[in-house]
């Protein structure tokens, strides 16, 4: 949106031309559009957390709590001793920090040239469709973005990925594992080949495990079993989908050396005392959140069985807390179904225009049993 009175402000043209990240108004709706955990904290835990937060030293800059949280995350995940943790204000921030850490600036390129070296501008590569923030982070910092289309089943096109990595030698390759918005879990062998090729070309592979609570596997196990092959791998996580989307806490695991480099570009106090206390509390009560995640996985199976019965929809397999469906009846587009569902009080995500391969697709977050039943009814009524 251009404002005629402000067009001479020194804001980048691409920023002025872009649209702000849209958050749909969910007032009065069952909210199944953003992969949030539908279960609120039980009242007894609300009281306990309230007391904890009330006692937090909000007059002090955060340090002790964030250090404690890093230790707790390492212990919870049995992180190898030579690995480090970096905390982000959501993993969205970590994506930007990673991009910042690899950014090749014009002065650095000139300095290299004076010494007879040429360095390439850094690129970010990811399969597409995938999480939009990889491309946005590249755009914001002026890095080249290479998107490699998934195959027709939303699986990795391994040959195309390997060729693109060899051609562009990306500094960062993002692999959302499982993927958003498709829910796909990449095959381990495809991951291995891609990660090996990234290593061969001197890049960093980022395995983004935002949906790890709902996935049968984590790349962290592979990393621990084969540390040498995975020394250039970063495993990124978030507490958002587990149930702390409002508290903003992302983290990544990387070799101590790599974690240190990323930590240098982190704003010093990016995690508030309150975020850190919430995250520590969630780790202490992890069993509670795990049980909720298990319940969501059971509900995902039920929804899958029901959605498969609907002839007008194509369902894609998912290892996350969401299901991607394609509306096959062209007369009844995803746009129409989305609008009708909303009229019936259920908000899902219309991802149709996010990527050409997502044409006529809706992304359904798995909610509570009652919410899912209402969602199915609204969906069927909208077809």
Ligand X SMILES: *Cc1c(COP(=O)(O)O)cnc(C)c1O
Residues binding ligand X (CB under 6 A)? 90-92, 131, 176, 180, 208, 210, 238, 240, 245, 250
Taking the least distance from each CB to ligand X, the nearer of 91 and 230 is: 91
What's the closest the beta carbon of residue 105 comes to ligand X, in angstroms? Answer: 26
Q: How far apart are the first and last CA of the chain?
A: 35
How do 172-176 and 322-327 pair as beta strands? unpaired
Tokens of 35: 């992969």
What's the closest the beta carbon of residue 349 comes to ligand X, in angstroms? Answer: 11
Taking the least distance from each CB to ligand X, the nearer of 158 and 210 is: 210
What's the closest the beta carbon of residue 330 comes to ligand X, in angstroms? Answer: 29
Taking the least distance from each CB to ligand X, the nearer of 248 and 338 is: 248
Taking the least distance from each CB to ligand X, the nearer of 170 and 183 is: 183
- The crossing angle, in degrees rounded to 10, of helices 273-284 and 64-76 is 30
3 state DSSP class of 242: helix
What's the closest the beta carbon of residue 244 comes to ligand X, in angstroms? Answer: 9
C-alpha 255, offset from chain centre: 21
What's the closest the beta carbon of residue 239 comes to ligand X, in angstroms? Answer: 7
Residue whose CB is nearest to ligand X in the complex, by number = 90
What's the closest the beta carbon of residue 8 comes to ligand X, in angstroms? Answer: 34
Question: Tokens 């899958």 label which residue?
Answer: 304
Taking the least distance from each CB to ligand X, the nearer of 252 and 334 is: 252
Taking the least distance from each CB to ligand X, the nearer of 182 and 222 is: 182
- The crossing angle, in degrees rounded to 10, of helices 369-382 and 334-343 is 120
3 state DSSP class of 350: strand
Phi/psi region, residue 157 (left: phi>0; alpha: psi -120 to 50; beta: rest), is beta
* 33 secondary structure, DSSP code: S
User: 315 - beta bridge partners?
Assistant: 325
Name the burial class of residue 23, with classes exposed (0-12), middle (13-18) and buried (19+) by CB atoms within 10 angstroms of its CB: exposed
* 271 secondary structure, DSSP code: S
Taking the least distance from each CB to ligand X, the nearer of 101 and 279 is: 279
What's the closest the beta carbon of residue 61 comes to ligand X, in angstroms? Answer: 22
Phi/psi region, residue 183 (left: phi>0; alpha: psi -120 to 50; beta: rest), is left
What's the closest the beta carbon of residue 20 comes to ligand X, in angstroms? Answer: 16
Query: Is-contact 94 305, C-beta < 8 A?
Result: no
Query: Is-contact 373 332, C-beta < 8 A?
Result: no
Taking the least distance from each CB to ligand X, the nearer of 131 and 253 is: 131
């Amino acid at each position: 949106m251009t404002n005629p009175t402000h067009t001479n402000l020194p804001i980048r043209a691409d920023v002025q031309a872009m649209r702000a990240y849209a958050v749909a108004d969910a007032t009065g709706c069952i909210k199944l559009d953003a992969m949030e955990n539908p279960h609120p904290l039980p009242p007894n835990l609300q009281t306990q957390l309230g007391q904890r937060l009330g006692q937090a030293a909000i007059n002090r800059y955060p340090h002790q709590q964030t250090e404690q949280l890093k230790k707790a995350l390492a212990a919870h995940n049995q992180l190898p001793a030579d690995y480090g943790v970096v905390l982000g204000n959501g993993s969205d921030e970590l994506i930007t920090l990673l991009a910042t850490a690899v950014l090749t600036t014009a002065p650095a390129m000139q300095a290299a040239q004076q010494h007879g070296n040429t360095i390439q501008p850094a690129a970010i590569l990811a399969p597409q469709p995938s999480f939009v923030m990889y491309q946005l982070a590249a755009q914001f910092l002026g890095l080249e973005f290479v998107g490699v289309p998934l195959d027709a089943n939303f699986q990795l096109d391994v040959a195309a990925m390997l060729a693109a990595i060899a051609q562009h030698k990306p500094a960062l390759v993002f692999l959302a594992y499982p993927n958003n918005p498709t829910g796909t879990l990449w095959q381990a062998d495809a991951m291995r080949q891609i990660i090996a090729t990234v290593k061969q070309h001197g890049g960093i592979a980022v395995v983004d495990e935002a949906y790890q609570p709902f996935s049968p596997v984590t790349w962290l196990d592979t990393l621990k079993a084969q540390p040498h092959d995975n020394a250039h791998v970063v495993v990124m996580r978030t507490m958002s989908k587990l149930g702390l989307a409002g508290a903003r806490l992302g983290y990544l695991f990387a070799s101590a050396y790599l974690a240190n480099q990323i930590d240098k570009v982190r704003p010093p106090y990016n995690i508030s005392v309150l975020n850190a206390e919430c995250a520590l509390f969630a780790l202490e009560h992890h069993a509670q959140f795990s049980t909720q995640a298990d319940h969501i996985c059971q509900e995902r199976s039920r929804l899958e069985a029901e959605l498969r019965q609907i002839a007008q929809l194509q369902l894609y397999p998912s290892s996350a807390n969401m299901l991607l469906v394609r509306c096959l009846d062209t007369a009844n587009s995803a746009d129409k179904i989305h609008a009708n569902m909303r009229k019936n009080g259920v908000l899902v995500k219309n991802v149709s225009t996010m990527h050409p391969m997502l044409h006529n697709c809706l992304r359904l977050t798995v909610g509570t049993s009652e919410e899912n039943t209402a969602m199915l009814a609204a969906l069927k009524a909208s077809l």
